[in-house]
Amino acid sequence: MWATVANATVAQPLQNASAPVDLKVGLNVVFEDDVERTCTPSYTDGRRSCACQVSERGFHVDRTATVDQPWLPMLTGSRLLTISLLAAVCVSPACSSTPRRPALASSGAASTPDDSRSGRAINADGNQVADGAPSTRDDGRLPRTATPLRYDLSLSIDPTQSTFRGTARIDVTLAEPTRHVVLHGRGLAIKEAFATVAASPALAASKRLATVTQRATAGARGGAIEELVLAFESPLPAGSATIELAYAAPFDDELSGLYRVKENATWYAFTHFEPTDARRAFPCFDEPEFKVPFTMHVTVPKGIRAFANSAEQRRVDDAQTTSFHFEPTKPIPTYLVALAIGDLDVKEVHRAAPPAIRIVTTKGRSEFGSLALEATSGLLDTLTEWTDFPYPFGKLDIVAVPEFAAGAMENPGLITFRDDLLLLDPRRASFSARRSQALVIAHELAHQWFGNLVTAAWWNDLWLNEGFAAWMESRAVDRWKPAFGARLDAAAAHLRVMNVDGLGSARAVRQPVVSSSDAGEAFDAITYTKGAATLTTIEQWIGEKTFQDAIRSYLRTNAFRSVHADALFRELDKASGKNVREMAATYLDSPGVPEVSTNALCNNKRVTGSSRWHVELGQQMWLPLGSNAKLDPSKTWTVPVCVRAAGQASLQCAELAQGAPAIVAGTAPSCPAWVHPNPTGSYYRFTPSDDELMHLARARKQLSVPERVSLLSNMWASVRAGKRSPAMLVRVLPLFDDDNERHVVAEIASILRDASDTLVEPQARPAFRAFVAERMKSRKKAIDWDASGSGSPSTARTPDEQSALMRPDVLGTLGDVADDPEVLKQAEIFAREWLADPARVDSNLALVAVPLASRRGESAHIAALAAAARTAPTREDRILALRAMGGFDSPAVLEQSLAYLLSDAVRPHEVRHVLGAALSRRASRAPTERWIRAHWDELRTKLPGSLSGSLVAGAQAACSSEEIREMNAFYTERAQHIEGAARRLAEALESASLCASLRSHGAAALTEALKPAPTIPRR
Ligand SMILES: [Zn+2]
């Protein structure tokens, strides 16, 4: 028999030991062969003692813990007692070895810096699992070894250097004694890691060194090393501890994590962490469930500034450096932590009420910040009023970042934006740029409530953040600047996302996320736009006021917490008395678009003077022609359907549930001439018969804007589904020729472009051009380049918002689809003037003219555009020049122009402007895609990591099985090596396959319909 070394955590009797306490003892023994046994009985009913026994292979550990005994090791928290190791007794004659010494070393014994294992080099081979460490989890989460309570980050950042240093101190709670703490870190060189066991009134804190191994998470594709496993010699006791890691890391080169940017010979550093890149900047528990305060200290070279999420508390100058100390933040998840560092300018807007709003820009650019400040101020007030919850995060800075992979990021207190979105010239900015700016600012501000105040606990519920922000942005902008027509734009976007959702490769809004790669893929149109469309459908179903009340309650109840979707549905169900949870699940948990069938019937009762009408409703899944998705009859939605009959202001509504048909009915003086099957813009498609469609189209003046847009969109969807002949385009679109409402014109332009891409045979092209020109003729008159018709910039009219926003659709369609020589000639005149001096041309005109002027451009035009990009006075001018570089029709000239992309003159994040423009047009799409393949390696070098993801979208240029095979052979293997590219490729190839099906099914019918009607000879 032998007894153990005594535990060395000496403790004093509890204060006021006679008071009842909740007692918890932890007994943790690690045996020689690494078998670990823990015993943690706890009594919460005021009992004053409890017993604990552990037996393993002949060893027996047995102790009774009593509140009053002085050896009770420590008091943690308010009333928790923790004993980490009491005694080990051999009770068997067979005992032949002893429990492993480290386990029996006292849990509180301090390691010293000269410990032979201290500061040991980190094994970064990534596959080594720390001795006995908890394994990785298949769901992509961290093993729950510790829960963070707060962070204290000290960073030393000099943007002129290639690396930075940091120390992360993280207060954690350990649920039970453990030898291991697992957290995230990617590409960090850990210099030292240790834990300080929480001090108690009785104990000095003790430092416990850890060895660190790095490993891949279970779900990680490509084996990305993202977890740090801290292994301690002996178990840390349950309760509070502080983990501290000192490290160095390179600045990131993929515009994520902490990265640096050079502008005008000056270096800056910025951050972008969502979804899982905070781990590239500091060791952390990088999951959105963990929301805790961050206190940041940033040391930078003297003369430059640092900004963080919270307000600067104090600044300390040293000989060479300045240290910025910031106030603790409100509880936030790691992905929302943000920094901006450099010789930055700051400008503040005057506001009557808090918060103060400042714009932070690179040197000398704050003069372009006034429009953004004005929009931020106005939209913030709008959102505060809608949510009935004051801005939650104290200070508010918006930051214009010169190189930025995303459009913007909602970091509380320090919202970052791509600078072209934020910095506009208040004298010259186009309405289109102002509108985009308002939308992106509204989106990021909406996140301050949806995502930042209440956070989705895991990435599978990302729609709680992004669907809401996308939904809210158009509401907020609509209230702030109705002229932008944002809510109607959103309704049109909800119709368009059905094309993505109808693909067999579409993902569900909510689906398992088990890796960083999965989390990255979730940031797509399905999460944002289908998420927003689902919220709109719920809102229409339960009523706007009820919806708003429920959301306000959701925000109040869950403020500063992370939640699952249940928290939202609880409020919606309660407020509405309906089963919103069940209804929403049919949209969120699987991909696909419901199609509602309508059969309108009417009984004309002339005697009574009124007619009774009804519409029989059914549902099925909408599928495009040639879809490889299975038509699953068991897949049904809960569809709230409303219809509007001719001459009636009120809607008749019903719910389609579980596949059962339903009926809506009404009475009218006579049988209604038409019934609109979706006046509320809910998430479903409908397919009226050709006759019903013609009735509705002829009655278009009685339809609202959303009703007209939805009618046109559904007509085109039924052509794409093979349920309607493309010949109907030729009958229906002319009925809308006198409709100059911008959203209607945009929908018509979109249909004409799609038809041009998919359905027009070469021999029908001239007739189709003439058809398109005819559709836009009267609209062109209304919004022509200039009032005098002289085509001179000096007589150009100053457009109102509507015509400015409509011009790209009308003149762009005429130039691109109808090849209208007059439009192209005028564009060239305006572009020449703009190239000489951008300020001489109204920006609203330039943004249409400059890209169109490239169509017939020669090589010399490339140099002119490159010069314009280089000397552009504003970001809007520069992007315009870049877009125009993707606009040449001649493949040879286009190829020369695209070569400019590979030069240093185009920044990585700007490549999208050129390629996006080139891939958006029929004439340049195929040559651009071929160019991407020919320069694949150079592009991959220019666009490291996931920045290359959009390159595979070129595969959508295919529209025949032969082309699709070619694309498959080139892209499929390559896409495997780019995060998020595999899904994009699958969608692009499927769209290409649908294009091929539609062409072979419908092109001949359109050709036939476009033939001039035979003239009847006169007698
Ligand atoms: Zn967002």
Question: What pLDDT, in 10s, does the model give residues 773-821?
Answer: 999 998 998 777 764 555 566 655 556 788 888 999 999 999 999 999 9
C-alpha 409 to ligand 1 mean position (Å): 7
Dihedrals phi, psi of 945, to nearest 5 degrees: 60, -140
What distance in Å separates the CA atoms of residue 44 and residue 41, rounded to the nearest whole number? 10
- Identify which of 528, 297, 532, 291 has the alpha carbon closest to the alpha carbon of residue 392: 291
What distance in Å separates the CA atoms of residue 454 and residue 570, rounded to the nearest whole number? 15
The per-residue pLDDT for range 166-181, each reduced to its tens digit, is: 999 999 999 999 999 9
Residue 513 burial (CB < 10 Å; 0-12/13-18/19+)?
Answer: buried
C-alpha 541 to ligand 1 mean position (Å): 25
pLDDT for residue 121: 28
pLDDT for residue 946: 79
Contact present, 252 and 201 (Cβ < 8 Å):
no
C-alpha 308 to ligand 1 mean position (Å): 20
C-alpha 979 to ligand 1 mean position (Å): 19
C-alpha 893 to ligand 1 mean position (Å): 38
Residue 5 has pLDDT above 80, yes or no: no
pLDDT for residue 801: 81
Residue 70 has pLDDT above 90, yes or no: no
C-alpha 310 to ligand 1 mean position (Å): 20
The per-residue pLDDT for range 856-885, each reduced to its tens digit, is: 999 999 999 999 999 999 999 999 999 999
Kindly indicate the confidence band of residue 198, based on its pLDDT and cuts at 50, 70 and 90: low
Q: Stretch 495-501: mean pLDDT, rounded?
A: 96
Q: Position 609: which residue type? A: G
The per-residue pLDDT for range 238-282, each reduced to its tens digit, is: 999 999 999 999 998 788 999 999 999 999 999 999 999 999 999
Cβ contacts of residue 883 below 8 Å, gap of 6+?
Answer: 850, 851, 913, 914, 916, 917
What distance in Å separates the CA atoms of residue 277 and residue 155, rounded to the nearest whole number? 16
What would the two tokens of residue 471 be?
A: 């939904």
Only one residue has tokens 């209230």, namely 479
H helices of 223-311, in order, are none
C-alpha 976 to ligand 1 mean position (Å): 26
Residues with CB under 5 A from ligand 1 (ion): 466, 469
C-alpha 464 to ligand 1 mean position (Å): 10
C-alpha 731 to ligand 1 mean position (Å): 41
Q: Position 675: which residue type? A: V
Neighbours of 770 (CB within 10 A): 13
CA distances from 569 to 564, 574, 636 (A): 10, 8, 20
pLDDT for residue 621: 94
C-alpha 463 to ligand 1 mean position (Å): 9
C-alpha 500 to ligand 1 mean position (Å): 19
Residue 302 has pLDDT above 70, yes or no: yes
Q: E-strand spans in 120-188?
A: 147-156, 163-174, 178-184
- Identify which of 651, 658, 655, 654 has the alpha carbon closest to the alpha carbon of residue 675: 651
C-alpha 410 to ligand 1 mean position (Å): 7
Contact present, 200 and 104 (Cβ < 8 Å):
no
C-alpha 357 to ligand 1 mean position (Å): 20
**Secondary structure element (H or E) that encloses residue 279, with its range:** none
CA distances from 844 to 47, 428, 829 (A): 78, 9, 15
